[in-house]
Structure 1
């Protein structure tokens, strides 16, 4: 009999199907993870969990680690070691912990003396660690960047980081399919950053919730790989689980001869497979969005959410024209924080700092784009006096390439500060920060309150727009630096040397080491796990207590816990950090009148939020940890960001989504000081005084795990036979995914827990 014909599938469908280890009930599946990137902020608790449970890293060959979030970007000429170089104790502790962990567990690591060190989402593609058709995860929400290669790439929380290290798999529910098509021709001055900001402005920060976005259309196909990475990077800002672009000849040309790309006949075999990774003509999408390229002009944000965008020729919005009271309150709060007056022209907004960097815009093409504007301003043009303008390359290799091309000379001559590789001012976990009230034109991906420093104000722009702002001292239409005069200035300027990234990649690789085999005995897979499976997760059955009301839309993870509290090696001790910028005056440190500072809400066990999209932003698990530490084990809201919902349930907490009108009713109960009772078994919220209860639904598998306090890792290790069968098939079909070892630039392995020593 002929094989059954498969129905038309999307790119996401194909990659998902290729990675299912085992189907569970209720739409949940155990999927295999091909590539795992690790950094210092979201990994310490994961490694500690492995250590406590005497577990190994299952696939060291598929894991790559670096330091990026905490590291200073000042000169490293006098660098001797991490302990001496990093002044901040908490930052130093996280970096030292990662060095110790990669030594103990035998992982490839790019440290601060390695020229390949850089932002985790820069070095993956740069090295060819990122490939089409793979699943790729990292404890960082902007892992969506890697989807530009036609991979399924998404951010995960620390508990899931531990899960991947231990099992090389994740329990996931398949997302919806969403396609955003951008057709037409972009006008002069519009870049990929403007395209994605415009997209988010159209669909909102919750527009992609529950979906994986495939970007398509003539505009997307015409973009370089670096520009495609910028598009996919901000998928999480649109609420999506991931963003993807089908691989093509542009993708293959970028990857050919990268250090970790397949070589020879294996390359040919890989390309043959990669060419199948495209959506079938008749495949159906759950959501379709079409955007004309002609609608997009250079774009800038005005508020504290990536959806708060305006054309550079536009004005600051007026909240009095907004009917929805929650949305109107959010816009008013944003404008108050940003220090902006409604109807102010965007080009009248003066700035204090410029930041060109981050995993969004720190690649060589971004730096070239900014240099072009600096040269176009004229041979004597300088950064506006009083403005600090920083250039932070995304990796040591990009820095070296830019210096070879002479870009650094142009920047420094104009008054820009040329830095070392790192995340830098994107989130300000290192010394690169805004002071309270300072305004920044930033090429990063988030403009949340306090994101770049407590009280700092962020406007998201493209690298070219950032450079223009540096030269004029205010937000500026980059098109003013284009045209005949600009071309003449560029032609009269220094002749820059154009180089190739491959000129700077001379590190040899060795064949893949043997993967570490699990020593955990298999007990066979079951669709519903036994309730006595070993676990440290607290059960959630019925929760009754004081409920705190919150009337804010798009409560992001930076609101829930500011970045200065991410510098911890533990999962506890974060109760005081919860909503810190709301609960404490930034100047005096005194307690405010915020709801969680008022009685009886200081004893709240439940939080009800009337605004949509609770927990948007980062994949940091610190957000649910801080809620849990405070005593809040249940959050009720109209909708949740996917990563926050997953992270909550990993910690025995219950996110309950009910219609907004029900949230309003429950908030009224809370404001009256009444207790609510959340019953997970019956899936209902019971109100006091005989008032009608409100029903909700939770995935049956997750409900079962919460009711019994089950640990995902322990459950998965019951299916180790299925994982081994999958790995054997994977090696036969896609041998290029079994990983490589680096010959140089790696911390020597002292594999204390490995069954045998690996020779790198």
Structure 2
């Protein structure tokens, strides 16, 4: 609820504090307004079912399929069972469809025109609103922060927690502001801005913080451009990204199906939204200032989003980097098949991919189409290079429909692009759209990790306009050379309004489930014990420690996307570090890889001298794989924020120590010596009589780990506080309840608890 205070507050402070349900021991319990679900986190429903729980607020959850589905034509689509041929992908989608029936959730399936990438359909429908808390089992949930929402990715256990309680325990993050001031140069898009920012701060620059993007250059951007920037804030290590709402935001939301109803409710909402800006005098923990004129079209050269260079630049030389990161640079260049000093515009591509939750919106489509039209007008290359395969994947069915009404599909197809159906597609290659080993792709997606778009595939990130230019020339290309003066902004495109493609939607407000539905005679302690579902207590873990030195070890490396299709949380240990543990061509173990050698095949501890271990995706499969292998404790310098949180929720301990102390333990591990992590006494015991190394851990987390308690059981102890928050929320923000979604003249039919609600 709006918190009365005279203290100057940031945008993040305001939204976080307005959603506090309970604060005290441990993390703060905050209320979650909006929950988006896709098929990869369907295992959360298994947890609900096993514990006998229901979804507490079905009106606050919206479900779709995007990661696994094919993006080929659906003209012959009848049902998932007959259309999706890949067995594991089909099983994931079928399981999700069974779950939405059983738990009574609103679902945009493959036969629904509103189906699409989860981070595109939320804003599109007006489900994403300023001042809300938004979560999804996907790290790029940060997208929704463009509306002044606090939006972040969560793991599968947290998805289950939100479904059961509509709340989530969260630690308060640091405040960070990145200001981009000035006027952007011709040909520079929002993707160039965010790639430039990540290149400046690095993939760990925002660790532990929520970034507020500010400045005149940010304020001048459309909502679609703002979403692209917030989408990739996670690639800078941040928990979330936010932009203060303004008139551009309000105009975007007005009239959308799930936005507040026009009239008194709309005016009430906008009045509140106008308060969502940082107060004068509010303090930030970190501030970064960037000049807009310093940004030119940008591309990546390596296997991390921080590996950026202007398109006018050259492939970097490892000698120009700090000695500590030089080995990573060498490996990246070897993987990418690049030689230092080669101009980026001489890098030849094999494929071009245009889509993803970063750049799959109508504005992105138009920017790429303008490049093609400019090429046709100038007499330059106006067709996809003969050696290049290029595809355009709209972010949702409604984006596809609008693009076709504007004739964009005709422009793309005339140039030789493959025009696809909505889905995540080649962004992460969990579907049939994948790169082959050593194929090089110009991509609008958000990650260029090893194997991200296909085992051995090489990805260069860039803007939609830059991808279009690369597809036409067959090389990474400075789009400014193809656009001329840029004076003809619309280039003859037929621009339509989104209102023409949206349809009214009413999400009835079913009865709210009580907090927990275990028998009333159970005490809070009994509920917590039942909820733990056998979470193993953590006291002392002893054994051989695996030495690890790679910086920015991402979750795609820990467990690649092809293993995310499991229907169980077990059995992933054999696939741990698969891209470097096995030969990608033969599948045979790499003999000199650390986990394939004794005594490390039995490691229970991992010691990493590389910073930012576990960066990247929110996939909880990463800690599951480590746990299944046998690793219970990680010792390192720093961790990806979501990964660290997921480890704790799975009974694993992440210890952060200064680099010098980690180096000592890493040396012990390299020698094959045993270490012991003693959580009760908070110390790491070294061999040969060496002095133990103490470590810090949050007291509440320590209590939960030692006693094997999970968060859901603990949250049940605050049921009265959650129910009081629910009541106040309805009074202050009525447009956030399902019943408030009804449009004038529509009848609201309450659902019975457990009722079925299928495609609308």
Whether TM-score is above 0.5 comes out as yes
- Cα deviation for residue 230 of structure 1 reads 0.3
8 Å CA contact 1:529–1:715 kept in 2: the answer is no
String of CA shifts for 1:184-225, please: whole Å, max 9, x gaps.
111111000000000000000000000000000000100000
- Cα deviation for residue 660 of structure 1 reads 1.5
Give unmatched runs, 5+ long, in structure 1: 744-748
8 Å CA contact 1:60–1:516 kept in 2: the answer is no
Question: Counterparts of 2:301 and 2:609 in 1: how far apart (Å)?
Answer: 24
8 Å CA contact 1:103–1:750 kept in 2: the answer is no
Q: Which residue, out of 204, 217, 220, partners 2:202?
A: 204
Question: Counterparts of 2:728 and 2:523 in 1: how far apart (Å)?
Answer: 18
- Cα deviation for residue 4 of structure 1 reads 7.5
Corresponding position of 1:619: 618
Corresponding position of 1:87: 85
Determine if the alignment matches structure 1 residue 96 to structure 2 residue 94: yes
- Cα deviation for residue 561 of structure 1 reads 0.4
Q: Which residue, out of 35, 44, 47, partners 2:45?
A: 47
8 Å CA contact 1:523–1:719 kept in 2: the answer is no
- Cα deviation for residue 5 of structure 1 reads 4.8
Corresponding position of 1:346: 344
Question: Counterparts of 2:662 and 2:132 in 1: how far apart (Å)?
Answer: 40
Corresponding position of 2:420: 419
Question: Counterparts of 1:269 and 1:489 in 2: how far apart (Å)?
Answer: 36
Question: Counterparts of 1:530 and 1:165 in 2: how far apart (Å)?
Answer: 17
Question: Counterparts of 1:339 and 1:717 in 2: how far apart (Å)?
Answer: 53
Q: Which residue, out of 51, 66, 82, partners 2:64?
A: 66
Corresponding position of 1:37: 36
Determine if the alignment matches structure 1 residue 260 to structure 2 residue 258: yes
Change (3 A) 1:122 1:489: closer
Determine if the alignment matches structure 1 residue 249 to structure 2 residue 250: no
Corresponding position of 1:738: 737
Determine if the alignment matches structure 1 residue 233 to structure 2 residue 231: yes
Change (3 A) 1:647 1:510: closer
Question: Counterparts of 1:383 and 1:306 in 2: how far apart (Å)?
Answer: 26
Change (3 A) 1:139 1:582: same
- Cα deviation for residue 587 of structure 1 reads 1.2
Question: Counterparts of 2:348 and 2:681 in 1: how far apart (Å)?
Answer: 55
**Does the residue aligned with 1:378 lie in a helix, a strand or coil?**
helix
- Cα deviation for residue 245 of structure 1 reads 0.3
8 Å CA contact 2:508–2:750 kept in 1: the answer is no
Trace 1:680-759 onto structure 2 (pairs within 5 A): 680-739=679-738, 754=753
**Does the residue aligned with 1:754 lie in a helix, a strand or coil?**
coil
Determine if the alignment matches structure 1 residue 583 to structure 2 residue 558: no
8 Å CA contact 1:160–1:170 kept in 2: the answer is yes
- Cα deviation for residue 755 of structure 1 reads 5.9
**Does the residue aligned with 2:287 lie in a helix, a strand or coil?**
strand
Corresponding position of 2:148: 150
Q: Over aligned residues, Cα RMSD in angstroms?
A: 2.2
Question: Counterparts of 2:118 and 2:588 in 1: how far apart (Å)?
Answer: 37
8 Å CA contact 1:565–1:577 kept in 2: the answer is yes
Question: Counterparts of 2:703 and 2:435 in 1: how far apart (Å)?
Answer: 45
**Does the residue aligned with 2:288 lie in a helix, a strand or coil?**
strand
Determine if the alignment matches structure 1 residue 19 to structure 2 residue 19: yes
Change (3 A) 1:126 1:757: closer
Trace 1:270-349 onto structure 2 (pairs within 5 A): 270-325=269-324, 327-349=325-347
Range with bigger deviation, 532-541 or 375-384: 532-541
- Cα deviation for residue 524 of structure 1 reads 12
Question: Counterparts of 2:139 and 2:522 in 1: how far apart (Å)?
Answer: 33
Change (3 A) 1:598 1:7: same
Aligned length: 744
- Cα deviation for residue 719 of structure 1 reads 1.3
8 Å CA contact 1:524–1:718 kept in 2: the answer is no
Change (3 A) 1:497 1:703: same
- Cα deviation for residue 511 of structure 1 reads 4.8
- Cα deviation for residue 532 of structure 1 reads 5.8
Question: Counterparts of 2:149 and 2:520 in 1: how far apart (Å)?
Answer: 30
Change (3 A) 1:129 1:573: same
**Does the residue aligned with 2:373 lie in a helix, a strand or coil?**
helix
**Does the residue aligned with 1:454 lie in a helix, a strand or coil?**
coil
Change (3 A) 1:4 1:607: closer
- Cα deviation for residue 742 of structure 1 reads 8.6
Change (3 A) 1:757 1:404: closer
- Cα deviation for residue 512 of structure 1 reads 3.1
Determine if the alignment matches structure 1 residue 124 to structure 2 residue 122: yes
Change (3 A) 1:694 1:533: farther
**Does the residue aligned with 1:360 lie in a helix, a strand or coil?**
helix
8 Å CA contact 2:47–2:160 kept in 1: the answer is yes
Determine if the alignment matches structure 1 residue 471 to structure 2 residue 468: no
Corresponding position of 1:546: 544
8 Å CA contact 2:105–2:757 kept in 1: the answer is no
8 Å CA contact 2:103–2:756 kept in 1: the answer is no
**Does the residue aligned with 2:426 lie in a helix, a strand or coil?**
helix
Question: Counterparts of 2:350 and 2:223 in 1: how far apart (Å)?
Answer: 32
8 Å CA contact 2:528–2:710 kept in 1: the answer is no
- Cα deviation for residue 510 of structure 1 reads 5.3
- Cα deviation for residue 330 of structure 1 reads 0.7
TM-score by length of 1: 0.95
Question: Counterparts of 1:356 and 1:4 in 2: how far apart (Å)?
Answer: 46
- Cα deviation for residue 487 of structure 1 reads 6.3
Give unmatched runs, 5+ long, in structure 2: 744-748
Corresponding position of 2:108: 110
**Does the residue aligned with 1:276 lie in a helix, a strand or coil?**
coil
Question: Counterparts of 2:733 and 2:523 in 1: how far apart (Å)?
Answer: 25
Range with bigger deviation, 513-522 or 313-322: 513-522
Corresponding position of 2:384: 383
8 Å CA contact 1:534–1:711 kept in 2: the answer is yes
- Cα deviation for residue 508 of structure 1 reads 3.6
TM-score by length of 2: 0.95
Range with bigger deviation, 376-385 or 74-83: 376-385
8 Å CA contact 1:611–1:660 kept in 2: the answer is no
Corresponding position of 1:500: 497
Corresponding position of 1:746: none
**Does the residue aligned with 1:509 lie in a helix, a strand or coil?**
coil
String of CA shifts for 1:338-373, please: whole Å, max 9, x gaps.
001111111110000000000000100000000000
Question: Counterparts of 1:277 and 1:542 in 2: how far apart (Å)?
Answer: 46
Corresponding position of 1:406: 407
Corresponding position of 2:746: none
Question: Counterparts of 2:512 and 2:588 in 1: how far apart (Å)?
Answer: 54
8 Å CA contact 1:549–1:667 kept in 2: the answer is yes
8 Å CA contact 1:150–1:245 kept in 2: the answer is yes
Corresponding position of 2:362: 364
- Cα deviation for residue 756 of structure 1 reads 6.6
- Cα deviation for residue 609 of structure 1 reads 0.8
8 Å CA contact 1:106–1:750 kept in 2: the answer is no
Question: Counterparts of 1:368 and 1:284 in 2: how far apart (Å)?
Answer: 39
Change (3 A) 1:703 1:78: same
8 Å CA contact 1:104–1:750 kept in 2: the answer is no
Corresponding position of 1:10: 10
Question: Counterparts of 1:413 and 1:311 in 2: how far apart (Å)?
Answer: 30
8 Å CA contact 2:527–2:716 kept in 1: the answer is no
**Does the residue aligned with 1:697 lie in a helix, a strand or coil?**
coil
8 Å CA contact 2:103–2:755 kept in 1: the answer is no
- Cα deviation for residue 489 of structure 1 reads 12
Corresponding position of 2:558: 560
Trace 1:157-196 onto structure 2 (pairs within 5 A): 157-196=155-194
Question: Counterparts of 1:162 and 1:369 in 2: how far apart (Å)?
Answer: 39
Question: Counterparts of 1:758 and 1:95 in 2: how far apart (Å)?
Answer: 17
Question: Counterparts of 1:173 and 1:321 in 2: how far apart (Å)?
Answer: 38
